[in-house]
Structure 1
Amino acid sequence: MKPRIRLTSGALFSCALLSCSPAIADINVGVVLSLTGPAASLGVPAKNAIDLLPRELGGEAIHYTVLDDASDTTQASRAFRRLVDEHKVDVILGTSVTPATLALVPIAHEKQVPLLSLAASAKIVEPMDPQRRWVFKVIQNENLMVAATVAHMKAQGIKTLGYIGFADAYGDSWLAETRRQAELAGIKLVAAERYVKTDTSVTAQTLKLLGARPDAILVAASGTPGALPQKSLRERGYPGGIYQTYGIANREFLRIAGKDAEGAVFAVGPVVVASQLDAANPIRAIATDLTQRYEAAYGKDSMSVFAANAWDASIVLQQALKAARDSAKPGTPEFRSALRDALEATRDVVTSQGISTISASDHVGYDARAAVMVQIKNGAWRYVQ
């Protein structure tokens, strides 16, 4: 019995013009995102980017099934299992935040389904072990972004640093890496405070930071909750520099933080300042193309690093899908295994945020080209390094 063939109109058009073979089987991609809850400002742009992705690959239909985890770790785990057990997906993209994504790592290993993380923490892919063997990430690890941030601090003559970040895995990773690299650079961490992303006030933490009188303060948070310390520090007259992380690189943060965001500096992927990159930079063309597509669909200045995270994951995934389909049929354990191997064989793939070369020991593959320093000026991102 021949396998069922389902082609999109685009695929049929291609076959009408070219000699092409019948599709082997549909490719099913599962997506878990935080479309509601505190992390919605991360998940919604990613969903928007996924809506722009191609639905066909060489004559085979690609189906995307998107589930909302409501910014909840338990719901993220349930969504992953549902996508595998009910929807029979070949690969999963997600989810939007680090704590929930960490919960998906052992399930990816259990189900033997590749997971492309849309959250940032290095803990998702490090240290490499049998569970993480099935997990990949086309988002910069903290060490790369902290290195760029600390280098900027040192160039500004900063000697003492305060820290406030999420009381979760994202905050843990940033605090540990910042402490390590700041010390090596001769910058003393004089205060470290934490908060929960659902908090409505960080007054107590702000007062402790002000009491320590640091030259600069790093806020390690993501999405709109990252605006809370930014506003609190400025409203209480903190005169020093405020650094953020790439977790706040969207328009919603700018809207919530308002005038208090002015002057904040952070390391982020080049896509945020695509038009400001050197014309010879190979990342510029990909980043500019994505920005133009996204803003044509969702409005001027709507582009977000969280949209780029989903788009870049797709760039790497589509290359791996091409390789995997040559050796196995989509929808089978053999195809999922071949896809995992193909992802690990990614070499010199240009995305909107860097150039990725993945290996058995490195499931990210980015180098220093994936980090630029950006400052918020007049409510916009400005490339400063």
Structure 2
Amino acid sequence: MKRFYLTAAITAAALALPALPALAQTADVTIGISVTTTGPAAALGIPERNALEFVPKEIGGVPLKVIVLDDGGDPTTATTNARRFVTESKADIIMGSSTTPPSIAISNVANEAGIPHFGLAPFPITPERARWSVSMPQPIPIMGKVLYEHMKSKGVKTVGYIGYSDSYGDLWFNDFKAQGLPMGMTMVDEERFARPDTSVTGQVLKLIAANPDAILIGASGTAAALPQTELRERGYKGLIYQTHGAASMDFIRIAGKAAEGVLMASGPVMDPEDQPDEAATKKPGLALNTAYEAKYGPNSRSQFAGHSYDAFEVLKRVIPTALKTAKPGTPEFREAIRQALLSEREIAASQGVYNFTEKDRFGLDDRSRILLTVKDGKYTLAK
């Protein structure tokens, strides 16, 4: 009997699933997903969870057993969730989390256990995490380059930076040094803030005093609107750039008029309608957005929904390949998934076209990015 379980689980009670015959249990592909549906980063995790309503219930004729847990954006909770997937659920695949710090935590567990891991937030994939982890979001260097090239085209010479005081903020700060500085730009001030902070007045005043031509905000979710709003309310007139971590309608809703004119890197899922018909990302992007907005309302599309949706687009290619050599629930199947991630090429999804290798665990190229701005309260392609 084929069954599909999708449990938005926060308590152990949500894992109390009906007993299945042993044969059916061994046939399922079990996928454990830890996302952030509560706390400051819920604006990222909720669309990732919602998008799971539109993914396949089976692949290659095999049912998918999907278990979803909330980690609240906390690395310790994410670690606990990942260990539960390993020990209790006997997961074949693990996904998560919605932000960088808990994604690192989950990757560590997955690599210790030898289970394929799909990160749903950009995170550094170091050699010790490279064997079993891949990342669905675009890598920082690909998204950063489109921002710095735009800065250069607008004659920007000096840049101020304000970002999270964690690994996501570090990734963007270091990327600007690696790519922006060689383009001839100078960073004149660096400020940081914590994800739960409710004020960045002190940091913004220092940035404005430095008087840069442009300011780069290395933040994600609704918290990215905090410095955006403060900068405009304090009279900053220069260009403001946001990362793909802010690409959602919630950003516009919270920032309001202060969002007007922002320059934002984004995945193509935010605007598949304006892509050429031959673009590989157009069809999956339209499919996701049509289903998502039909249920959650017009303009509810999200960069983050694309991350979890695309993980299943990848699985649609790799699971049938893995099933040729091994059965779910075995170490051999997990290894077969890992190998299939390396052998399958040109996997089209809403956010890009994936070609994973042993060294490139993001697997994306320039087809995975667009540049947006906000005009009259709506996202539009930037020029």
Deviation per CA, 1:227-255, whole angstroms, max 9, x where unpaired? 11001000001010110000011111111
SS at match of 1:327: coil
1:111 matches 2:113:
yes
Structure 2 partner of 1:371: 369
Q: Give distance in 1, aligned partners of 2:213 and 2:353.
A: 34
Matched letter for residue 346 of structure 2: D
Q: Which moved more, 1:181-190 or 1:205-214?
A: 181-190
Q: Which of 257, 265, 268 pairs up with 2:266? A: 268
Structure 2 partner of 1:357: 355
Q: Give distance in 1, aligned partners of 2:362 and 2:129.
A: 15
Deviation per CA, 1:303-353, whole angstroms, max 9, x where unpaired? 100000111111112211111111111011111111111112231111111
SS at match of 2:271: helix
Native 8 Å contact 1:137 1:313 kept in 2 = no
Native 8 Å contact 1:97 1:119 kept in 2 = yes
Counterpart mapping for 1:1-385 below 5 A: 5-7=1-3, 25-121=27-123, 123=124, 125=125, 127=126, 129-384=127-382
C-alpha deviation, 1:23, in angstroms: 10
Number of residue pairs matched by the alignment: 364
Native 8 Å contact 2:60 2:319 kept in 1 = no
What are structure 2's unaligned runs of at least 5 residues?
Answer: 5-23
Q: Which moved more, 1:42-51 or 1:272-281?
A: 272-281
User: What is the TM-score of this pair, normalised by structure 2?
Assistant: 0.92
C-alpha deviation, 1:84, in angstroms: 1.5
Native 8 Å contact 2:56 2:312 kept in 1 = no
C-alpha deviation, 1:140, in angstroms: 0.9
Native 8 Å contact 1:7 1:60 kept in 2 = no
Native 8 Å contact 2:118 2:311 kept in 1 = yes
| Percent identity of equivalent pairs | 42
C-alpha deviation, 1:274, in angstroms: 1.1
Matched letter for residue 293 of structure 2: E
Q: 4+ residue runs of structure 1 moved beyond 3 angstroms?
A: 5-8
Q: Give distance in 1, aligned partners of 2:247 and 2:369.
A: 13
SS at match of 1:301: coil
Matched letter for residue 62 of structure 2: E
Q: Give distance in 2, aligned partners of 1:304 and 1:311.
A: 11
Q: Give distance in 2, aligned partners of 1:24 and 1:321.
A: 15
SS at match of 2:66: strand
User: What is the TM-score of this pair, normalised by structure 1?
Assistant: 0.92
Q: Give distance in 1, aligned partners of 2:202 and 2:96.
A: 34
Matched letter for residue 47 of structure 1: R
Native 8 Å contact 2:243 2:265 kept in 1 = yes
Native 8 Å contact 1:90 1:113 kept in 2 = yes
C-alpha deviation, 1:223, in angstroms: 0.2
SS at match of 2:131: helix
SS at match of 1:194: strand
Native 8 Å contact 2:3 2:64 kept in 1 = no
SS at match of 2:286: helix
Q: Which moved more, 1:360-369 or 1:199-208?
A: 360-369
Matched letter for residue 45 of structure 1: P
SS at match of 1:120: coil
Deviation per CA, 1:108-160, whole angstroms, max 9, x where unpaired? 11111111000113x1x2x4x24321001122111111111000001111111
RMSD, aligned CA: 1.5
Native 8 Å contact 1:283 1:351 kept in 2 = yes
C-alpha deviation, 1:376, in angstroms: 1.1
